């Protein structure tokens, strides 16, 4: 019998949020040695070399004085490294590899998970808890509103002062975070403070997830999704509208727990999204699905028509493109 996600109401404690701050299963076994720089993309090999060297230092136990202050003047070396690049060039692979080789205590999370964690713990408790870490890796770093800008700028400033090393990935340069989504000029000081923490490294290359693949697989019929969900172990099946309404009742920090025990996700009657709030919730769900490598089977519209053209041209364009990239990869996995 298929699982109904709509009936789930997970209770997630702050302790669980902290304990789950490790690379997702998809990246549990990656290492620098398994990263393959693309031919003709020298930036990939260059960044790999930089991270390998940084990893050697971070593999040593944390000392009372920060390593970058012992190695060189503070103004020449920054406390964090920031990997900028398009979708599917291996940024998360490299970030997780750095986490794996580093000595603890260490933490790995997405930007959304970090903001959710601060919300759950409160700023004072979050600073106290996170200041104990040697390294904090932040995947998919992106600021969508002024509140997040101020919150994360304040948090990272205090963590850097405490000697915490930072590593982050994004497809938006740190001085461009928030651009197109709110009046970034009004928060320029905060954004520049964030950018100042990082040594920015650009990674070029095409999206490896779509090399040789069609844009999106053909949707299934409703009946086929329902039959597959009933036949496959630990497979969910929900109507698209019911699912996105239910997501609106859950805090995004619970979306990971929401998927506990699910091996394949079935969705019937996929439709074009017209509400930005619903679209952004689907982005978070897509990220959690991708983290856990959960295949997708669906009926209705093809995935490449999920987000309408105005959304793909708006301020959240990069979020939606990332979600499409990941959902299409999962849908191909669901065809097997």
pLDDT (tens digit per residue) in 175-199: 454 444 434 444 455 656 767 778 8
**Quick check: 207 pLDDT over 70?**
no
Band (74; pLDDT cuts 50, 70, 90): very low
CATH architecture of the domain formed by 31-206: 3-Layer(aba) Sandwich (3.40)
User: What integer best gives the mean pLDDT of the chain?
Assistant: 84
Structure tokens at 242: 């019911």
- Return the pLDDT at 214: 52
CB distance 282 to 247 below 8 Å: yes
> What pLDDT digit, counting tens, does each position of 283-334 carry?
989 989 998 899 999 999 999 999 999 998 887 887 888 899 889 999 999 9
Q: Which of 80, 66, 72, 54 is nearest to 196 (CA)?
A: 80
d(CA 263, CA 289): 10
Q: What is the pTM of this model?
A: 0.76
Domain ranges of the chain: 31-206, 209-334
pLDDT band at residue 49, thresholds of 50, 70 and 90? very high
Angle at 315 between CA 299 and CA 136, to 5 degrees: 90
Predicted local confidence at residue 152, as pLDDT: 82
Cβ within 8 Å of residue 211, ≥6 positions away: none
The two tokens of residue 174 are 């740190």
**How high is the pLDDT of residue 55?**
95
Phi/psi of residue 334, nearest 5 degrees: -70, -15
What is the distance between the alpha carbons of residues 58 and 100, in angstroms, rounded to a whole number? 10
Measured CA to CA, the distance from residue 280 to residue 240 in angstroms comes to 15
Residue 149 has pLDDT above 60, yes or no: yes
Higher-pLDDT residue of 71 and 104 is: 104
pLDDT at position 4, please? 95
CA atoms within 13 A on the CB side of 327: 25
């Amino acid at each position: 019998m298929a699982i109904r996600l709509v009936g789930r109401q997970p209770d997630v404690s702050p302790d669980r949020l902290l304990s789950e701050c490790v690379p997702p299963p998809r990246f549990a076994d990656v290492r620098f040695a398994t990263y393959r720089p693309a031919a003709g993309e020298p930036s990939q090999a260059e960044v790999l070399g930089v991270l390998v060297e940084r990893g050697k230092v971070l593999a040593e136990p944390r000392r009372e004085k920060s390593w970058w202050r012992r190695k060189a003047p503070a103004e020449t070396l920054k406390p964090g490294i920031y990997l900028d690049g398009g979708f599917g060039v291996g940024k998360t692979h490299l970030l997780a590899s750095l986490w794996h080789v580093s000595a603890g205590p260490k933490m790995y999370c997405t930007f959304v998970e970090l903001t959710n964690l601060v919300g759950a713990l409160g700023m004072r408790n979050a600073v106290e808890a996170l200041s104990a870490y040697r390294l904090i890796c932040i995947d998919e770093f992106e600021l969508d509103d002024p509140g997040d800008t101020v919150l994360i700028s304040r948090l990272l400033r205090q963590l850097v002062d405490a000697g915490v090393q930072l590593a982050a990935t994004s497809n938006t340069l740190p001085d461009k975070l928030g651009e197109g989504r709110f009046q970034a000029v009004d928060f320029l000081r905060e954004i520049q403070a964030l950018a100042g923490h990082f040594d920015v490294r650009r990674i070029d290359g095409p999206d490896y997830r779509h090399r040789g693949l069609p844009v999106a697989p053909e949707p299934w019929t409703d009946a086929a999704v329902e039959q597959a969900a009933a036949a496959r172990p630990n497979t969910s099946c929900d109507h698209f509208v019911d699912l996105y309404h239910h997501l609106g009742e859950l805090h995004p920090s619970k979306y990971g727990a929401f998927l506990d025990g699910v091996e394949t996700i079935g969705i019937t009657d996929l439709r074009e999204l017209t509400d930005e709030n619903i679209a952004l919730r689907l982005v978070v769900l897509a990220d959690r699905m991708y983290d856990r490598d959960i295949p997708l089977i669906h009926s209705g519209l093809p995935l490449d028509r999920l987000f309408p053209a105005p959304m793909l041209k708006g301020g959240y364009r990069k979020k939606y493109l990332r979600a499409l990239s990941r959902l299409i990869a999962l849908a191909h996995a669901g065809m097997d």
